[in-house]
Structure 1
Amino acid sequence: MISATGDLTTLRLPPTRVMSMVYLSDSFILNRFLSSLLEAMNLISVFYFVFVYYSGRPHGQKTDIAWHIAIMLLSPCLILIDHGHFQYNCISLGLTVGAVAAVHSNKELVACFLFSLALNHKQMTAYFAPAFFSHLFGKCLRHRNPLLEVLKLGLVVLGTFALVWWPYIHSMESFLRVLRRLAPFERGIYEDYVANFWCTTSVLIKWKRMFTTQSLKLLSLGATVSTCLPSMLQQIWAPSNQGFLYGLLNSAFSFYMFSFQVHEKSILLPLLPASLLALEEPFLLKWITLHALFSMFPLLCRDGLILPYIALSVLFTLVYHAPTGRQDRKEAPSFNSFVTTIIVLCSVVLHIVYLTMHPPRRYPFLFEAVIMLLCFSQFMVLCFYTNAKQWMLKRSVFVDEEKKLL
């Protein structure tokens, strides 16, 4: 305020709490509401997958089917990230599940369309791209005219991308701006504490100090390609529906472990195919879910989601141990119960320590580093197991499917 003498004077106002500085127009609210309805895509896709998956089986108990649906829809990690951290992962993951179901029902063109939509919705869906490519390419090679089949799939992908990118391809500036947003290399190889190779080993090897961003991009690319290549080769050589699910899991694991700029929520990608394999690999699903939750624990604590974290963990455990016909299966053929008990106890202790104690001043992120080390070690064990399991699939699994294509 300016006084009569021309000097600036202050005007004391009563304290006011500003609740929000965001103006929400009616069109913005309507857009947010309509886009949130797209999260029903996950629900529709889950039922579509279960229908296709069990229709090709000689028998399937109703309790097993109901359990499989429940365990897929009640994923605690997905619920916490989408409805606590406020993301729209259900859309891209739902489209991916729909694409997987289309592959299982031999509707490859529909699968390419749905997966292209998922990839354009969230670029991290590219974690599944090697698995889709290798499986579909392997199936094309077994047709009478492989080149024609590849061309048809390629045209669907290019057409879908052209449709989605149409508003941006008229302006090179807009096009490049979107590309830069999709690939934020300037953030570094990792930004926060995440249970992958680069972040976990940074305690010993200071990747950001020792290497340039360009060198780290090449290192991460080489590590990612080399680790997902065996799974891809298996599906090109012997494509099968069951092998495709393992291929999705192995491809997502490779990207999560070794790709550039991985976020905590990226663990949702390996979780998806693990849930699709829930009936065959119940222990795998339980183990990856518990450690995926734990790997996101520091992030969820910052968001004030401790109570939902506990509630959904308990709910998942109750649903997982619900009595069904699958109880006759051997849950953990490659894990010793004593070792798993020790690991669970360590996780519980780390939860308590993280919530009740302060780290040393010299190492303010000590607890996060220990949590990521524990989760990373378990993810690596599961990654080795699923890669070996994919290569050990029986020959009859894909010989019968190959006959159907000819």
Structure 2
Amino acid sequence: MKKSFVLLIALILIITACSNKETVENKTIKILYSSYADFKRDYGSVFDQQFSTTNIEVIEYKSVMGEGIWDAMKYVPSGGRDWDIKKYIEIIKTENPDILFFPSEAFTELQNGGLLKELNMFFTEEDFTAGINENLLTILNEVGGGGIYAFPQSMTAQALFYNKDVFKKYGIPEPSDRMTWRELLLLTQRFSGNSDLKGLYTPYYDYADLLIEMGKADKRKWYDASRQEIHFGTESWKSLITDEVTAYSSGAMDGNGGIPIDLFSQGKVAMILETPYFMKQIQSLNTELKWGVVTEPVGTEILDVSTTITYPIMSGISTNSQDYAASSEIWKQLNNRRTSELRSNSSLDKFTTSIRQLKPGTEQDVFYLLNPSVNTLMERTSLSMELKQKTDRIINDGIQNAIVNPDSLNSIIDKMQEDLTHVVFRTEQK
């Protein structure tokens, strides 16, 4: 009798366990992501370990919203068009996903449309906020109008790497954190006169990209669409153009390119503006190379702000989620410290790094010293890819011409003004 009772209890426990397992396994959470393949690449290992009993349905948006590419440190839509945010919103309304991933430029429309739940509750938990800079939370609150509605998947970042042996050999002071662009270009020119050595290499910037980036650091816009004006003729922009042309004319900078890690490790460039991936490359060399790293250059007035830090992809919880409790738990797991570490260890991405400081007290701290510019953080791409290619060509040709003919700089700038006015505003009026 006692044996039968034990068997009966065991049978009930097995049936109950199976019943509970079935209930958990039948739970489905919909995640809106660029593609299923992208999701498996980015989070496959996380879900294999933590959510084996949850049915995750990935809804793809890449086919209707567009695919992204990297252009001068910024993640932008390919195909010469903007992100199709309207179609993205249509997917939300028809598919009712629980968790949303999206390019950061879509954030404003999603929030204004009431499509994102507030996430502040997660940022009161010490376990979840471990490694997150307090300034980041302040900025997310600011762009969210007093609440946090989306959280970055990762962030772009760059820093100034330098070869200590090269600086020591020529007796030149090493660069420092928060140098202005002008200070960096002046330091670069101290390496002029040596055909086998360049002072600075900017692998992700051509002439035009570098000039625009220098302007952004001082909050200067190179054109005004409302007034249909190009600003390169102003004294402030002429000064920036002169600084760039002078640096290239000195021979201390070269736009011909090359493999960054080879040039740097072989002592052919003294300094290089590079990304977190470059740090991984240096650390994997296992050589006697002596190197240092400081923050990227900043503006002349705002010394704690980076204009290159952006949040390419963000995520949030849909206000139409059918299971908010389960969605919250999964969203939290997708964004916690453990997941950040797993993704960081497996990531081969050249441009981005974890939102969290995973290894404080190391060289990686340099990517977290500056704050992103709130004004440019969520801005939409100002020019289409096609138009940007046209304007870049005019600016690149103009600066190249000025490098060869520095005495003609003013007339070259006037010609750039004329050509850009014609291309930008004639195209916009079509």
TM-score category of the 2 structures, normalised to the smaller one: under 0.3
Task: Name whichever structure is richer in helix by fraction.
Answer: 1
Q: What TM-score do the two structures reach when normalised by structure 2? A: 0.24
Please tell me whether Structure 1 or Structure 2 has the larger radius of gyration of its CA atoms. Answer: 2
Higher RCO (C-alpha under 8 Å, 6+ residues apart): 2
> Normalising to structure 1: TM-score of the pair?
0.25
- The structure where strand makes up a greater share of residues is 2
